[in-house]
């Protein structure tokens, strides 16, 4: 089990977002979390990704408590795809892909970057400035960036939110094609239905559907 979450509870400004959330994320499993805006989906994803902490409850990574190693685990074992690509517009595609590897004190080789970009048909953009890419291209580069450190888990927060229908379908198929486990937060139940397991965050609880 990559992640085991037990009895997670989180409030924001005296408003309970959720409580008693339990979820297991096995290797390779594709999981969707749906819910209304403001229900706490992104917050839950950030807690699972060790970006935020719960008010109470426990996160286990491979059966062990996170402790003070959250930043190391996050960089080595978890990749993120956000609704907004968060690319540096003044860097090239290659330089944007290189950032997660540099954080580890390592280098990304050009042939590695090309292999990632070939998977999304963007190898010809490797030296292009990020600011010159279309929205769909930027999101595909962000998808590649999430894979650079070969994580076991990809967390995707509304990755289709800024894409048209055709581009959105491509992104979902890319996520489904990965050998890694994926947790997809989405408002689109049609996309969610393609995942192995489906959950909805409703009435402060995480319920399967």
| Two tokens, residue 155 | 């967390």
Domain chopping of the chain, boundaries: 29-46+66-208
User: What average pLDDT score do residues 136-157 get?
Assistant: 94
Question: Phi first, then psi: what are they for 77, rounded to 5°?
Answer: -115, -10
3-state helix vs strand vs coil in the chain, percent to 5: 35, 30, 35
For the stretch 97-106, contacts whose Cβ atoms lie closer than 8 Å and that sit 24 or more positions apart, written own/partner, are 97/141, 97/144, 97/145, 97/148, 98/148, 99/145, 100/75, 100/145, 100/148, 100/149, 101/148, 101/149, 103/75, 104/75, 104/76, 104/149
Are 181 and 154 in contact by the 8 Å Cβ rule? The answer is yes
Q: What is the pLDDT of residues 13-54, one digit of tens each?
A: 889 999 999 999 999 999 999 999 989 999 999 999 999 999
User: What average pLDDT score do residues 170-182 get?
Assistant: 94
Between 69 and 181, the more confident residue is: 181
Residues in the chain: 209
Three-point CA angle 86, 87, 89, nearest 5°: 125
Residues 6+ apart with CB under 8 A from 71: 50
Q: Report if pTM > 0.85.
A: yes
SS3 at position 156: strand
Residues 6+ apart with CB under 8 A from 111: none
Between 82 and 123, the more confident residue is: 123
- 164/156 Cα distance (integer angstroms): 17
- 17/9 Cα distance (integer angstroms): 8
Nearest Cα residue to 49 out of 68, 30, 77: 77
SS3 at position 194: coil
29-46+66-208: what fold? Rossmann fold (3.40.50)
- 98/105 Cα distance (integer angstroms): 11
User: What average pLDDT score do residues 140-156 get?
Assistant: 95
Residues 6+ apart with CB under 8 A from 69: none
- Residue ranges of E strands in 54-186: 56-61, 64-65, 78-81, 153-157, 181-185
């Amino acid at each position: 089990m990559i992640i085991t979450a037990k009895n997670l509870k989180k409030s924001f400004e005296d408003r309970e977002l959720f409580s008693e959330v339990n979820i297991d994320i096995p290797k390779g499993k594709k999981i969707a979390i749906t819910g209304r805006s403001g229900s706490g989906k992104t917050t839950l994803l950030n807690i699972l990704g060790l970006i935020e902490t719960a008010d109470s409850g426990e996160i286990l990574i491979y059966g062990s408590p996170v402790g003070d190693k959250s930043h190391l685990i996050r960089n080595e074992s978890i990749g993120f795809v956000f609704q907004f690509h968060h690319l540096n517009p003044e860097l090239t595609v290659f330089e944007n892909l290189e950032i997660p590897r540099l954080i580890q004190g390592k280098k990304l080789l050009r042939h590695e970057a090309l292999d990632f970009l070939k998977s999304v048909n963007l190898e010809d953009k490797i030296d292009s400035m990020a600011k010159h890419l279309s929205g769909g291209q930027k999101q595909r580069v962000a998808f590649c960036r999430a894979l650079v450190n070969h994580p076991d888990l990809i967390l995707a927060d509304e990755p289709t939110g800024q894409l048209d229908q055709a581009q959105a379908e491509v992104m979902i198929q890319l996520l489904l094609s990965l050998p890694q486990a994926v947790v997809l937060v989405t408002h689109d139940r049609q996309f969610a239905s393609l995942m192995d397991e489906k959950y909805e965050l409703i009435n402060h609880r995480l319920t399967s559907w």
